[in-house]
Amino acid sequence: MTHDVERAEQVRVPFATSAARTARHHLSAFLHDQHLAQQLMDDALVVISELVTNAVRHATPQQDGGSTRLPGALSADNVDEVGRGLSIVSTLTRRWWVEAHGSDVRVSALLDAG
């Protein structure tokens, strides 16, 4: 059984280390209201955490013109402490993609609901 979530929300998070926690909190409440399977919710929370953490770590605040590099998965060794975020996102999602319009960059991910 598939479950298409038709309602969407947009949440602004601070450009700070607390951003991933804030995003997880809002996404958790949104997904809970959708009555989705716990595993799907868990995967979605990992994905949002990785994407937001990457944005805070690698991008620059919008008022500074945004990042000059588009996000992309890196090849990380098992001993590397960083560099696996988008590989994790690739594993947990059907697909993820980047849309760039000038200095505006959006990273989106699609998860299978069942």
CA separation for the pair 77, 75 (Å, rounded): 7
pTM: 0.76
What is the tens place of the pLDDT at every residue in 39-97? 999 999 999 999 999 888 887 776 554 555 555 555 555 555 555 788 899 999 999 99
- Residue 105 forms beta bridges with which residues? 100
Specify whether the CB–CB gap between 114 and 1 falls below 8 A.
Answer: yes
Label residue 29 by pLDDT band (50, 70, 90): very high
The per-residue pLDDT for 113 is 77
